[in-house]
Chain A
Amino acid sequence: EPEVTQTPSHQVTQMGQEVILRCVPISNHLYFYWYRQILGQKVEFLVSFYNNEISEKSEIFDDQFSVERPDGSNFTLKIRSTKLEDSAMYFCASSGGAGGASSYEQYFGPGTRLTVT
């Protein structure tokens, strides 16, 4: 069964460093997303991406964040200068684009736990 994969599973970085979180969405999906979950809190939307551009973003997704689809399979989230409050689980998700119900079903990866020290 196709699945979304994410690497690394755990990333530890120092405050002020840049990090890149990587995701491989399901191969025939057209919409890609990033969410985060701070420990003990709810899952929050960061950004959605379609046709090589951002289609929607939340207030959390400020200038220190960027997304990219560098090739036909990977989807990345970059945090330019990490802060302590960026520590969270980051989930990548993807959904289909052929229309119908599959366009709305978002499939999530296992997450990357980012720890900023």
Chain B
Amino acid sequence: AQSVTQLGSHVSVSEGALVLLRCNYSSSVPPYLFWYVQYPNQGLQLLLKYTTGATLVKGINGFEAEFKKSETSFHLTKPSAHMSDAAEYFCAVSVREAGTALIFGKGTTLSVSS
């Protein structure tokens, strides 16, 4: 079985500060890992994904995440927060097979203050 734990249901940063959203996963098989963002009253938008290869992956809007197998982590970072980054962020895991379920964490709400 797979699971995802997102530490911190709410993270607040100042504009220009580092953003760090934490995600730890559990998987009995090598996983695929994803970060999605949800803006108010919108659907889920794929930010970035790790499948194979380079463990540091870059996504849209300046976000990146690093897959650390030894720590079973896939934390999301952005060097400098922007007001428009305020949203809810979900980490998700799946097995390496097309058409299988994404298992989501509970989400982290990011607030950015000026």
Q: Which chain A residues have a beta carbon within 8 Å of chain B's beta carbons? A: 4, 31, 33, 35, 41-45, 48, 50, 55-56, 58, 91, 93, 95, 97, 99, 101, 103-111
| Chain A residues near B98 (CB-CB < 8 A) | 31, 95, 97, 99, 103-104
Report, as a range, how many residues of chain B touch the other chain.
Answer: 20 to 34
**Which B residues fall within an 8 A CB radius of A?**
32, 36, 42-46, 49, 51, 90, 92, 94, 96, 98-107
**CB-CB < 8 A to B46: which residues of A?**
105-107
B101 in contact with A103 (CB, 8 Å) = no
Query: A31 contacts B99, CB within 8 Å?
Result: yes
A-B contact pairs, 17 of them (CB 8 A): A31-B99, A42-B90, A42-B106, A43-B102, A44-B104, A45-B101, A48-B100, A55-B99, A91-B43, A97-B98, A101-B49, A104-B32, A104-B49, A105-B46, A107-B46, A108-B36, A108-B44
Across the interface, name the chain B residue whose C-beta is closest to A9.
B41
Most chain A CB atoms below 10 A, which of B51, B96, B100: B100
Most chain A CB within 10 A, of B94, B102, B103, is at B102
With a CB–CB cut-off of 8 A, which chain B residues contact A110?
Answer: 42-43
- Residue among B44, B51, B94, B101 making CB contact with A91, cutoff 8 Å: B44
Instruction: Give B53's nearest chain A residue, CB to CB.
Output: A101
Cα A4 to Cα B44 in complex, Å, equals 11
Instruction: Say yes or no: A104-B104 contact (C-beta < 8 A), given A43-B90, A91-B43, A111-B43.
Output: no
How far apart sit A42 and B103, CA to CA, in the bound complex (Å)? 9
Find chain B residues with CB under 8 A from A50 CB: 99
* Chain A min CB distance to B85 (Å): 19
Asked if residues B44 and A101 are in contact (CB atoms below 8 Å), the reply is no
Whether A42 pairs with B104 at a CB distance below 8 angstroms is: yes
Q: Which 6 A-B pairs have the closest CB atoms?
A: A103-B98, A45-B101, A108-B44, A31-B99, A110-B43, A43-B104
Residue of chain A at shortest CB distance from B41: A110
Nearest CB of B to A108, in Å: 4
Assess whether A108 is in contact with B45, with CB atoms less than 8 Å apart. Answer: yes
Residues of A within 8 A of B45 (CB): 108
A58 and B101 form a contact (CB under 8 A): yes
Known: A55-B99, A104-B32, A104-B94. 13 other contacts (CB 8 A): A31-B98, A35-B102, A41-B106, A43-B90, A43-B104, A44-B104, A45-B103, A48-B100, A56-B100, A93-B44, A95-B99, A103-B98, A107-B46
